[in-house]
Amino acid sequence: MLRATLKGLLGHKLRLALTVLAIMLGTGLIAGSYVFTDTLDRVFSDLFSESFAGIDAQVTSDVNDELASFTFPERLPESLVDDITTLEEVEVAVGTVAGLVTLIDPNGEALGGFGPPTIGTSWSDAASPLTVREGAAPTNDRDLVIDSSSARRLEIEIGDEVGVIALGTPERFRVVGTIGLGGSSNFGGATFVAITYETAQRLFDAEGNVDTISVVGAGDISPEALVAAVEAIAPENTSVVDAATAAEQQLSGFKEALDFVNTFLLAFGYVSLFVGGFLIFNTFQVIVVQRTQELALMRAIGATKRQVRRMVLAESVIVSVIGSIFGVVFGVVLAIGIRAAFSRFGGEIPATTPQIQTRTVLISMASGILVTLFSALVPAYRASAVPPIAALRQVMARPSERLFRIVSTVGTIVSTLGAGVIAAGLFLDPPDQIPRAAFVGVGAALLFIGLAVLSAAFARPLGRTLGAPIRVAFGAVGRLATENAVRNPGRTAVTSAALMIGVALMVFVTILASSLEATTNQLIEDTFKTDLVVQPIGFGGAGLSPLIADEIEALPEIELVTRTRQGPMLVEGDVEFISAAELSKLTEAIDIEVIEGDLSTVGIDEIAISEDAAGDLDVRIADSLDVEFARTGEQRLIVAAIYEEAGPAGDFYLDLESYKQNFVEDFDQSLFVRFDRSFDTSAAREAVETVLDDFPGATSLDQSEFADQAITGIRGFVGLVYALLALALVIAFVGIVNTLLLSVIERTREIGLLRAVGATRRQIRRMVTWESVIIAVYGALLGSAVGIVLARALVEALDTDQIVFRLPIVQVVIAVALAMVAGVVAAIYPAQRASRLNVLEAIAYE
């Protein structure tokens, strides 16, 4: 049987080529997700282990692990460094001061911008992983060294002047050297600058304190013994860990984020493969039909049903193995593409050798093989159902009324089930072990399969309706195209269903994005009561120096400045982000409706909380709420105000004074600025801009600029999602080419007849093209409808009247128009092939 299988495969090379392509594209994104995240994992594992090179142990303030990756811990007293140094187990101990900075070029422009942060640290010759690459180490308070890859990227050379902003105004430094991390120059994409210890303490406002203490043990003391010795003299709330543990701790937070990215990317990989499954199904269905006589002959000469079934399944396995192998290779290429996409969206990601792990290959291939096998299951059973007698006569099965009823019933049941599972995931409380997303994912898969089946039942009438204008415009050719599009309703349905899925997800995301944009605009319009917002440029740099608010406040043109800050805290074990502001002035700056209590009098040990959060945490006004801060540990706060959640206000508010006590960070996140009405608006803004000229890391935005910035962020993310969904659409597109090609091969004789009775090549091409357009538009329309319904359901499920549901009519029209174009393009090769058919061969009988 194996020989027959192989012969069968070779006999259908062309027919299977596109199937291999589909499997390759689908598994490619799965492999690509793993390769991308494994590669990043590798980059950062190296980075974190390098960052502890030459150090045996590290001392920091004890911070809850959950909070550690979002904030800085409390500083340690400098005296502890001396205490540790005096231990006989210790050879050397070095205190380090570090923080986020913004680099400024000689023209006063901020360098870097969006992307990984710029980190400033104190330089030490001993107990430090940093090594000088070129030039010298910093020796006086004007010296600075920068990591060599950033120097290259930012075109900074030794001898150049750069400005650094930490907490105050920019200070000028002279670049005296470049540094590396141990032997490598991999800082994970971050920019690293080092200055002398004293300068760092001054710059980060840390006189008498250090952030971390790096310890090198004396002789060949074991890390455990060293840690124990240091721990013995360390004060309470101090964490002493050996270097390996410290590296692992740093990596674990990062790995969590990486896992999330991986899951996100994999979701799109599985969507692509799922879409590919439809194409595979079609291919095998067609191959089985075309080989009816051959299969019947095998049965006639003694092959069992089981053997025939296995032959088809074996074919599918071989095809999927080939496709998956290509897929893994393609995945490596995709990983590079994903890196580029993320770089555009989130900043530079360091390049390294792509990591291809055994697990990646196994999972990609297993996914490809399983999806293919599953898709070939129905065709295999169909093949085994071919009776031996079919070898002797042409059996043309015609879809019966009964089949129609079965198809519609099965389709209805499966799609209803899918919709039900989605609804359960969205509206009910699923059991804790299963995430809502799993419900929605499985439900959506069922819904799509159900709709594909169901649409087979309606492909005929709907396809004819779509074809009506084509009949009118193109007469006989239009009629032939329409009838061809609906003559195999199952095949058309499955082909267009693949497109339906891609379009549905695209429309879904588009609706959510445009709703989110509308909501954002609305919120900003509703809550933004001031004239300007001052914000730091980019994500990765430092915040705003508190001096900015001070200087703007001092301007005569300004009536009001409200500063806000942000930070993490633990509430009932979860990390929540808390906002802080000068609460007495907050209601002046943004529209925030207080339901109970008084926002403006929230004190040091008090907290304001949104109505939603209060409900979730089951606290009322004057109740106490236990929270944990990275700096100060567990704190009991009294709920002093409850407000309606709105826009920029998060779920929790602290007064600025309380924030200053509980957080190490001493910079502002955003400033709300209101002009004095007796001054001209542009003059007032001019005055603010003049202040900001001294702080290149800050920028001012008016209401519409602020909204634009928020929307640019949404659009960037949507762009990334589009790029990932594009693969599923490409596969659906290949599916259309596949179906057309298979149909053209199947209809060789009919096309020959049309040519014989006078159809021109051009008419044949047109016929195939319009068939393609009908299939594509059918899929796009179904997809748009499903996408709209799903988006509506999600908005309902979010159960908030704050989201403005926006029907993107223009986008749906564009989707359908693009589908038409895709249909035309998909038809190019099949139509060409059809029009080039040799008439004589097509009509030969013997």
**For binding to another protein (CB under 8 A), which residues are involved?**
396, 398, 475-477, 479-480, 483-484, 487, 749-750, 753-761, 763, 839-840, 843, 845
Rounded alpha-carbon distances, angstroms, from residue 674 to 133, 231, 531, 671, 712 = 49, 52, 5, 10, 24
Least distance CB 754 / another protein (angstroms): 7
Least distance CB 760 / another protein (angstroms): 5
Q: Which is nearer to another protein, 109 or 841 (CB)?
A: 841
Least distance CB 840 / another protein (angstroms): 6
Q: What is the maximal distance between C-alpha atoms in the chain?
A: 103
Least distance CB 838 / another protein (angstroms): 9
User: Token pair of 727, please?
Assistant: 């693969």
Q: Which is nearer to another protein, 709 or 748 (CB)?
A: 748
Q: Which is nearer to another protein, 159 or 758 (CB)?
A: 758
**SS3 at position 674:** strand
Least distance CB 768 / another protein (angstroms): 14
DSSP track, 474-488: HHHHHHHHHHHHHHS
Q: Which is nearer to another protein, 715 or 761 (CB)?
A: 761
CA distance 68 to 250: 9
For 147-161, b/e burial (b = at least 16 CB within 10 A) is bbbbbeebebeeebe
Q: Which is nearer to another protein, 62 or 483 (CB)?
A: 483
Strands 652-655 and 574-581: parallel
DSSP symbol at 452? H
CA distance 581 to 559: 17
Phi, psi of 91 (to 5 degrees): -85, -50
Q: Which is nearer to another protein, 306 or 402 (CB)?
A: 402
Q: Which is nearer to another protein, 7 or 762 (CB)?
A: 762
CA distance 692 to 547: 10
**SS3 at position 220:** coil
| Contact partners, residue 534, CB within 8 Å, separation at least 6 | 544, 548, 549, 552, 670, 671, 673, 688, 692, 698, 699, 700, 701
560 alpha-carbon distance from chain centroid? 39
The count of residues in the chain is 846
Q: Which is nearer to another protein, 301 or 757 (CB)?
A: 757
**SS3 at position 238:** strand
Sign, CA torsion 734/735/738/739: negative
CA distance 608 to 619: 11
Least distance CB 318 / another protein (angstroms): 33
Least distance CB 482 / another protein (angstroms): 9
Q: Say how many C-beta atoms besides its own lie within 10 A of residue 217's C-beta.
A: 22
Q: Which is nearer to another protein, 569 or 754 (CB)?
A: 754
Q: Which is nearer to another protein, 10 or 396 (CB)?
A: 396
Least distance CB 388 / another protein (angstroms): 23
Is residue 845 within 8 A of residue 753, CB to CB? The reply is no
Q: Which is nearer to another protein, 164 or 834 (CB)?
A: 834
Nearest CA among 59, 99, 65, 60 for reference residue 628: 65
Least distance CB 328 / another protein (angstroms): 43
Q: Which is nearer to another protein, 408 or 763 (CB)?
A: 763
- Alpha helix stretches (DSSP H) within 170-242: 197-203, 223-233
Q: Which is nearer to another protein, 3 or 398 (CB)?
A: 398
Q: Which is nearer to another protein, 563 or 765 (CB)?
A: 765
**SS3 at position 666:** coil
CA torsion 815-820-824-825 (nearest 10°) is 0
Q: Which is nearer to another protein, 698 or 759 (CB)?
A: 759
Least distance CB 484 / another protein (angstroms): 6
**SS3 at position 671:** strand
Phi, psi of 360 (to 5 degrees): -60, -50
Strands 212-217 and 171-181: unpaired
Least distance CB 396 / another protein (angstroms): 7
CA distance 320 to 822: 26
Least distance CB 834 / another protein (angstroms): 14
- Alpha helix stretches (DSSP H) within 220-356: 223-233, 243-290, 292-300, 305-346
Phi, psi of 370 (to 5 degrees): -65, -45
**SS3 at position 345:** helix
Q: Which is nearer to another protein, 73 or 467 (CB)?
A: 467
Nearest CA among 84, 192, 67 for reference residue 129: 192
Q: Which is nearer to another protein, 573 or 758 (CB)?
A: 758
Least distance CB 766 / another protein (angstroms): 11
Q: Which is nearer to another protein, 473 or 813 (CB)?
A: 473
CA distance 175 to 192: 12
Least distance CB 411 / another protein (angstroms): 24
Least distance CB 371 / another protein (angstroms): 33
Least distance CB 843 / another protein (angstroms): 6
CA distance 500 to 585: 52
Is residue 763 within 8 A of residue 473, CB to CB? The reply is no
CA torsion 149-152-155-159 (nearest 10°) is 80
Least distance CB 761 / another protein (angstroms): 7
The position carrying tokens 């709300």 is: 672
Least distance CB 752 / another protein (angstroms): 9
Please, what is the end-to-end C-alpha distance for the chain in angstroms? 28
90: left (phi over 0), alpha (psi -120 to 50) or beta: beta
Strands 171-181 and 143-147: parallel
